[in-house]
Each structure stands twice: as structure tokens, then as C-alpha cells.
Amino acid sequence: MTKKFLALVGALSGFLFSATAPVMAQQAFPDRPLRLLVPFSPGGSTDVYARKFAKLLGDNLGQVVVVENKDGGAGSIAGSQLKAAKPDGYTVMIGTSSNVTTGPATNAVFKYDPRKDFSAIGILGVLPMVVIANPSVPANNMKEFVSLIKQNPDKYMYGSGGVGGVSHLAGELFKDEMGGLKLPHVPYKGSGPVIQDILAGRVQVLFDNAVPNLPHYRAGKEKILVALSEKRLKVLPNVPTTVELGYPDLTSSTVLFFLAPAKTPEAVLSKIREASQQVIDNPQFSKDVTEMGVEKPDSVDAVSAEKYIREDMAKWANIAKKIGLKLE
């Protein structure tokens, strides 16, 4: 009788332990370092942001957050690794529009669906796109620029960091919203070479975020005609936006998304989210990223991120369909 009782107690204890172990693990999170995947090479604006963020996030969580650069495949390598990671909160990613919305919406190289394969922690920052022109372009604002292109179809060209990228699709969205402007596209391998050709006048227009162009703009080597956003950029307070000029659908941004694998427990996501909000609210961090041209969100929340991902993917899929873009 005693042996049966002890066996029953042992079995019950084992059951209770196995049932409560996941909960206990979530309560103990994190008890080891986190991996933060960055889909681009070291030194770029996303990498610089991620390293500043990782240091403070680790301080808030009480664990080291190790940045791992997984560049390649237009950001799809990092996304694929996040999809395959164990959903325990120890592998997370700072993705951008390139590998979270525009890429998966238009390019078959992306073997994941952010709406199904990722759990959103939130949006960490927004870098609105701007319309940049070489100083030789005889237009100083959006109205003059559109009029110039209409009067001189196919005379001016815009460059981008590559076919299917944010800078390409933003240009096609602009042309579409303006009634089909005749502004040919010249793709480059990355934004660096196209910026150099903008400065040299070999191409005249670029749709890009402000960050890498601010030094050239401030030196008078580039014009910034308009921001494709709702609110004016803090680093460009005198540059009007497309929304204030009457084009509510003409917006485009490079967004910094903070993501975990799908099915990551909500208790774990909440801990990471809370620690992320503390980073965003840090005065020195806020100052540093604002000077980089990053507009920070009011809050880090999943609902806003999930809504943005759905709507942005639909927008770019529509533009890709209109221009017959098919990438394999």
C-alpha cells in the first residue's frame, strides 16, 4: 500500500512539474544571453541603431544581447533564421521594411510570411523616405518637380538601391500617385553607389531615407524636395510632407520592426516589450537616434506593428502588380 502511494505521489509530482515547467521558464526569462539578428552588414544605419539598442535592452533585461549580422538575400537570410528559431524569446530580430514588408510582398526569394511566421514585439523607429534631387534639377519643391517631369517626359532619371527595394517601390508609388510620371528607373547595387551618382549628376533623382543624405543636403550638394510622410522630420523641419500637401496615400518609410518567432509566449514578449519601451524612453538614446534621422514611436506595441505589416505588404504588392514586377 505504501509503495503504491509513493508511486502515485511521484507520478503526480512529475506531472505537476512538467505542466508548470513552461510557466516557470517564462517567469525566469531571461536566464541567458539573447541573440539579436540584424539583416544587414556591420556599419550600416540599421546595424548602428541595433547596437545602441542592444546595449540598453540588455541592461534592462539583466542579460547580454548579442548582435549577429546575417546579411544576404536582401535580408531574407536573417528572416529565415528567425522563422526557424525556437520560439522562446532568446532569438529576436530588428528587421526593416526591406525584409519584413516590401521584400516578402514582391519577391519569391523570401520563404516566409511575416504575418504568420513572426510574433511582433513592436515598431522601434521610422525613417520616412524623402525625394532627393541633384542641385542641377530646376525644381525646389514637389509642385515644381512634378511640373518639370510632366513637361520633360523621360528626360530625368531616378536611381534606387536595387529592383524591388524600398527606394525603387517608393519611386513607382510616387509616379503612380502623380498620374503616371515618365521618370525612368535606374537600379544600382545598394544605395551608396546611387548617392555617388546623384552627387555627380549621372542620375538626377533618388527616393531614399534622409539618414545617409543629410551631410550632402547640409553641404548644398543635394536638394530634398519633400518627405513622403505624415509629419515633418525633426531633422528636416523646413521640408514639407506629401500628406500636408494633399496626398494622404503617398507615404513610404523604412520601418524598424522588432520581431520574435511565431508562437513565442506572450509573457516573454511582454517582458521584452517592456524593456524595449524603457530603451525608447531613454533620453540619451532618443537624442542619438533622432540625430540619425530616426523618428521614434510613442509606444512599442504589437497591434500597431501587426497592422502596419499587413497594410504595407498590401500596398507594395499592389504597386508591384501595376508595374509587372516579378522577382524570383
Decide if pLDDT at 4 tops 70.
no
Residue 240: the pLDDT is 97
Q: What is the pLDDT of residue 21?
A: 46
Q: What is the pLDDT of residues 247-283, one digit of tens each?
A: 999 999 999 999 999 999 999 999 999 999 999 999 9
Instruction: Please give the pLDDT value at position 83.
Output: 98
pLDDT band at residue 120 using 50, 70 and 90 as cut-offs: very high
pTM: 0.85
pLDDT at 236 over 80: yes
Whole-number average pLDDT of the chain: 90
Q: Is the dihedral of CA 83, 84, 85, 88 positive or negative?
A: positive
Average pLDDT over residues 65-70: 96
Domains of the chain: 32-127+253-323 (3.40.190.150), 128-227 (3.40.190.10)
Q: Has residue 20 got a pLDDT over 70?
A: no
Q: Which of 60-74, 103-117, 313-327 has the lowest mean pLDDT?
A: 313-327
- Distances 23 to 19, 20, 27, 187 between C-alpha atoms, Å: 8, 5, 6, 50
**Chain centroid to CA 290: how far?**
16
Helix (H, G, I), strand (E, B) or coil at 108: coil
- Residue 326, pLDDT > 80, answer no
Sorting pLDDT into bands at 50, 70 and 90, what band is 71?
Answer: confident
Give the per-residue pLDDT at 328.
63
Tell me the percentage of the chain whose pLDDT exceeds 90: 74
Q: Name the residue with cell 543636403.
A: 217
- How many percent of the chain have pLDDT more than 70? 91
Residue 5's pLDDT band (boundaries 50, 70, 90)? low
52: how many CB neighbours lie within 10 A of its CB?
17
Render pLDDT for 145-174 as a digit per residue (tens, 0 to 9): 999 999 999 999 999 988 888 899 999 999
Distance from the Cα of residue 83 to its chain's centroid: 17
Residue with grid cell 524591388, as numbered in its chain: 164
The number of helices, as runs of H, and strands, as runs of E, in the chain is: 13, 9
pLDDT, tens digit (0-9, with 9 covering 90-100), for 35-50: 999 998 888 788 999 9
194-211 pLDDT, tens digit per residue, is: 999 999 999 999 999 888
| Comparison of pLDDT for 313 and 2, the residue scoring more | 313
For residues 293 and 127, is the Cβ–Cβ distance under 8 A?
yes
Cell of 178: 502623380
User: Is the per-residue pLDDT at 33 higher than 60?
Assistant: yes
